[in-house]
Amino acid sequence: MIATIETNSKKYKIDLSKALDISISMRASINNVNAWYQGPPEIEPVQDGDWKASVAEGAAINFNNISFNPHAHVTHTECVGHITKKIHSINQNLKQFFFLAEVITVAPEKSKKDFVISKKQIQFALGNKKREAVILRTIPNTKEKLNKQYSNTNPPYLLEEAAIYLREKGVKHLLIDLPSVDKEVDEGELLAHHAFWNTAGKKRLDATITELIFVPNSVEDGTYFLNLQIAPFENDATPSKPVLYAIE
C-alpha cells in the first residue's frame, strides 16, 4: 500500500507494507537486553490460590502480570520529564508520530577511557540535511545489541557538544542504539540529556530521546519516514516501537 506524505511543501511516497522495525522487543529472560543494574523483566501468570491464569495450566485464558523498567529492558522513548523535578509525561507531550528522518552510522571515537560521539562526527554524517528525527547507529553493529548486558560496561555516549548541535539544527527526535545518550557513571550530570532538551532555557517539551534501538545492517544510511509508536503510559518514558519506511 503506497501512501503519500507531504511535509515542508514536498511530497514523499512510502510503501506501508514495507515497515523496517528498529525496536528491541522485551521477553522474560536473562538474555533480554538489560542496563542500569536491574534484574531481568518478568512476565508471569496471575495466580489466585491454586488457580493459575495460564491455558497451559488448565485456565480458560492467559492473563499475565509484567514487571519491567522501560529505561533498562526495552526500546523506549523518553521526554524531558526524565530529568526534571516537575512531572512531564511522554504520553502528554508526544502528539505527532510521523517524521522525516535520517539514518546515520557513526564509529565512536576513543577519548581517554571512553568511547564518545562528537559534534564533528554528526556534522559530517548529516551534512546540510535538515531532519525532524535522527537515527544514530553505532559500529560495530552486531546482533549482540539485542541481548547485551550493559551494566558496568561504560558504553559509548554522546558528547554535550553533539547534543547541542542536534538541538540547534532543529532535530526534535533523537534515536540511538545505546542505553543512554550520556555516560553510564557521570555523577548525575546528564549533559547530553540536558543539552538536547534545553533545560537551562525554554524546555523542549515536544522533543524526545529514544534509546536501545537496533538498526540492522541491511538498513542503509539515508532518508526515511519514521513512525514513532509509543505505549500510552503517563510516565517520563514508555516502551516504544520506532518503524522506518523507505522513500519510494
Please say if the pLDDT value at position 188 is more than 80.
Answer: yes
Residue range 127-135: mean pLDDT, rounded: 96
The domain made up of 2-27+70-246 has a fold known as Glucose Oxidase; domain 1 (3.50.30)
Residue range 1-9: mean pLDDT, rounded: 85
Which of 32, 34, 51 lies closest to 43 in space, CA to CA?
32
Beta-bridge mates of residue 2: 15
Please say if the pLDDT value at position 49 is more than 90.
Answer: yes
Per-residue model confidence (pLDDT) at position 214: 98
Tell me the domain boundaries of the chain. Answer: 2-27+70-246
Per-residue model confidence (pLDDT) at position 82: 98
Please say if the pLDDT value at position 7 is more than 80.
Answer: yes
Beta-bridge mates of residue 12: 5
Residue owning grid cell 539544527:
169
pTM: 0.97
Read off the amino acid at residue 18: K
Q: Strands 98-106, 76-78: parallel, antiparallel or unpaired by DSSP?
A: unpaired
What is residue 138's DSSP assignment? Answer: E
Phi and psi of 8, rounded to 5°? 50, 40
CA 38 to chain centre: 18
Per-residue model confidence (pLDDT) at position 242: 98
Please say if the pLDDT value at position 60 is more than 90.
Answer: yes
Which of 218, 160, 168 lies closest to 194 in space, CA to CA?
160
Please say if the pLDDT value at position 9 is more than 80.
Answer: no
Whole-number Cα distances in Å, 14 to 17, 20, 58, 98: 9, 12, 46, 12
Per-residue model confidence (pLDDT) at position 68: 98
Residue range 133-151: mean pLDDT, rounded: 98
